[in-house]
Amino acid sequence: MTPPSRLRPYRLAAAVAALLLLVAVAAATVFGVRLLTESNRWVERSHQVIEQLEASQSLLAATQAASRGYRLTAHPSLRGEFHRAGPQALDAALELVRITSDNPSQHARAQSLLRQSTQQIERMQELVDIQDREGQKAAVAAMRVDELVARMHGVNAASEAMRAEELRLLAARRATNERNANLLLGFVLLSLAVSLATLWTLLVSLSRENRHNRNLEREARGALAELQRAQTMTERLSAQRWAISEYTGLLQSAQNLDEAMELTSCTFERLLPHLGGQCYLARASRDFLESRASFGRPAISSSDALPPGDCWALRRGQPHHNRAGGGVRCAHLEHGTSLAAISTLCIPLSAQGETLGMLHASGPVDGGEEDNDAAIIELMGEQLALAIANLRLRETLRQQSLRDPLTGLFNRRYFEESLRREMLRCERRRLPLALLVLDIDHFKSFNDSQGHSAGDAVLAHAGRCIASLVRAEDMACRYGGEEFTIVMPETDAASAVARAEAIRRAVSQQTISHNGRTLGAVTVSIGVATFPQDGVTPELLFEVADAALYRAKAEGRNRVLHAAAGIG
């Protein structure tokens, strides 16, 4: 007869102990899950505050951009955009105040940010009202740039302080969350190990409970894994939103299209390294698009240049997504390559009803539920389109402010700025500088007899001759009327006179045709002055060169005369 087990007297105690351990595990699991849920709620609250702060700043920046654009262009759509974005910015700031009510320090910062945003928008509204009542010039005159910049800096400083505090809270909450998860997992694993060891020594009849406990263990681990996966996904989305926000801010500071393209390429490769593609920009003629930037390793190649009709996104004016060959294929994609395992996306870049380009991306098909690549690319496309439109508008305004539209030469404003700058540079380097002042002979009588359109043809002819004979470092300008100026850095008197003679001969020797008839001979008189011999200030140097010009006219015109005797 088999002797009774020596553990029989302890079975009840072991069962009770095992039961108590299991109860403790269950209670700890429930408490830990509730604790983790609460921690996650606070983490989500931090993300919500950061997202709302970014939305508030973005809307305030949009309000300021619309106000500034309206002052510069007086376009009604920008005024409407200002009145739309302003209330939205205040609503976003109010929402930020609301959601930070459970944090006194952040609540105070949010209230401060609301006050500063309100003051900034009220000031912008005053400028818009002045422009509506008194006109664009009055609004520009009333604008106090230092005040607006100081206020915007105050808003940015308050925003950065609030963001830094919330990021600190987020890091602390994540650390607490991870610590609680690790403690819970350790306690559960340790308790289950002891329980299983105790139950193993009990009767075979307890094996069913043993299997049940193992199932509980697997479920607990699965719940923790799912929780960690959700947390990882949340962190990934937050990082993507932050990168898009940073990309938007950097785009607003880009000085030209090349910088915008480089920034787009770097951001795309950082956010979506598994995809590749190209960014196309439309030519001025709008009949073709050319690739200006490429990024990553595309799954299928696309043409470097394409007509708008080759892309379904450009035809329809909306994104065109082809997933595993389940859509219409764009003609600019490489022919002969199967789309069965490829996903392609074309995003039209449009702003204010004008197609500026197209963003194309391709990669392997990913059937995961967490795939948000298309949303990221579309968001990047929207921001890039706005940046391209702003850069082109800025370049157009800059050219209009510096160039004379008839001759293509620089205007008087650019001449005055350049002359002063180049004289200071040559003075520091102890180098000479020459100034040529040109005037078309008998232009008034020619203009009166031949008509203003013929006079414009003469001015354009003189401008072309001057532009063709100056160096790259020279600055040729139309000073006003029929008078031109040329600033020639690092040029002595003899070289300046020789260049002036070449210009005089070129103007007089070429034939001008206008409206099917040949105009009469055109000559110019040129006065030359050099720095520092003839003047040490821009005003004095110009007066000396202008006086030399009038002497040349008095001595018979069609000649070059230097301010100093014996040269000319």
How many whole angstroms separate alpha carbon 525 and alpha carbon 319? Answer: 61
Q: Is 447 helix (H, G, I), strand (E, B) or coil?
A: helix
Do residues 326 and 274 share a domain? yes
Tokens 């808003």 sit on residue: 155
Q: Which of 241, 220, 181 is nearest to 39 (CA)?
A: 181
Q: Which of 355, 331, 360 is nearest to 283 (CA)?
A: 355
Do residues 452 and 376 share a domain? no
Do residues 376 and 446 share a domain? no
- Tell me the HSE value of 493 on the side-chain side, using a 13 A CA sphere: 17
Residue 2 lies in a domain: no
Sequence-separated (6 or more) residues with CB below 8 Å from residue 508:
521, 522, 523, 524, 558
Query: CA quadruple 221, 226, 227, 232: dihedral positive or negative?
Result: positive
Q: CA 371: distance to chain centroid?
A: 25
Residue 4 lies in a domain: no
In 201-276, alpha helices (H): 207-253, 257-271
- Residue 526 is predicted with a pLDDT of 94
Contact yes or no for 435/488 (Cβ under 8 A): yes
- Residue 142 is predicted with a pLDDT of 73
90: containing domain: 12-251
Residue 568 lies in a domain: no
Of the three residues 251, 282, 302, the one that is the final residue of a domain is: 251
Contact yes or no for 524/417 (Cβ under 8 A): no
Contact yes or no for 542/513 (Cβ under 8 A): no
The enclosing H or E element of 40 equals helix 8-73
- Residue 524 is predicted with a pLDDT of 92
- Residue 568 is predicted with a pLDDT of 47
- What tokens does 267 get? 């951001």
Of the three residues 251, 267, 288, the one that is the final residue of a domain is: 251
- Residue 497 is predicted with a pLDDT of 94
Which amino acid does the sequence have at 222? G
Number of neighbours of residue 503 by Cβ within 10 angstroms: 23
Do residues 175 and 73 share a domain? yes
User: Which pairing describes strands 560-562 and 524-531: parallel, antiparallel, or unpaired?
Assistant: parallel
Do residues 311 and 287 share a domain? yes
Do residues 271 and 153 share a domain? no
Query: Any catalytic annotation for residue 95?
Result: no
Q: Which of 344, 345, 368, 346 is nearest to 357 (CA)?
A: 346
Residue 3 lies in a domain: no
Longest dimension (CA), the chain: 145
How many whole angstroms separate alpha carbon 495 and alpha carbon 262? Answer: 43
Cα angle, residue 98 at apex, residues 95 and 99 outer, rounded to 5°: 90
How many whole angstroms separate alpha carbon 443 and alpha carbon 519? Answer: 12
Do residues 364 and 239 share a domain? no
Do residues 279 and 375 share a domain? yes
Of the three residues 209, 227, 251, the one that is the final residue of a domain is: 251
How many whole angstroms separate alpha carbon 17 and alpha carbon 24? Answer: 10
Which amino acid does the sequence have at 426? C
Do residues 247 and 259 share a domain? no
User: Which pairing describes strands 483-489 and 513-514: parallel, antiparallel, or unpaired?
Assistant: unpaired
How many whole angstroms separate alpha carbon 254 and alpha carbon 284? Answer: 21
Sequence-separated (6 or more) residues with CB below 8 Å from residue 265:
279, 293, 294, 295
Residue 5 lies in a domain: no
Number of neighbours of residue 376 by Cβ within 10 angstroms: 19
Do residues 210 and 289 share a domain? no
- Which residue(s) pair with 403 in the sheet? 410
- What tokens does 337 get? 């390559």
- What tokens does 163 get? 């963001």
Residue 407 lies in a domain: no
Do residues 80 and 229 share a domain? yes
Residue 504 lies in a domain: yes
Which amino acid does the sequence have at 239? A
pTM value is 0.44
Which amino acid does the sequence have at 336? G
> Which domain CATH number covers 290?
3.30.450.40
Number of neighbours of residue 325 by Cβ within 10 angstroms: 14
Q: Which of 377, 10, 405 is nearest to 198 (CA)?
A: 10
> Which domain CATH number covers 440?
3.30.70.270
Query: Among 147, 482, 543, 555, which one carries the catalytic annotation?
Result: 482
- Residue 2 is predicted with a pLDDT of 46
- Which residue(s) pair with 518 in the sheet? 513
Q: Rounded to whole angstroms, what are the CA distances from 111 to 15, 101, 550?
A: 60, 10, 68
- Residue 432 is predicted with a pLDDT of 95
Residue 405 lies in a domain: no
Number of neighbours of residue 362 by Cβ within 10 angstroms: 24
How many whole angstroms separate alpha carbon 554 and alpha carbon 542? Answer: 18
Number of domains making up the chain: 3
How many whole angstroms separate alpha carbon 127 and alpha carbon 129? Answer: 5
Do residues 121 and 196 share a domain? yes
568 residues of the chain, pLDDT tens digit each: 445 556 566 667 766 777 777 777 777 778 777 877 877 888 888 888 888 888 888 888 888 788 888 877 878 888 888 888 888 888 988 888 888 888 888 888 888 888 888 888 888 888 888 888 888 777 777 776 666 677 677 777 878 888 888 888 888 878 887 887 788 788 778 877 777 777 677 666 556 666 777 888 888 888 888 888 777 777 777 777 788 888 888 888 888 888 888 888 888 888 888 888 889 998 877 788 888 888 888 888 888 888 988 898 888 888 998 887 677 889 888 887 877 788 889 999 888 778 888 999 988 886 555 567 888 888 888 888 888 888 877 777 766 667 888 888 998 888 988 999 999 999 999 999 999 999 998 888 777 777 788 888 888 888 989 999 999 899 999 998 889 999 999 999 999 999 999 999 988 887 777 776 777 778 899 999 999 999 999 999 999 999 999 999 999 999 999 988 544 4
Q: Rounded to whole angstroms, what are the CA distances from 99 to 46, 110, 169, 239?
A: 10, 9, 15, 21
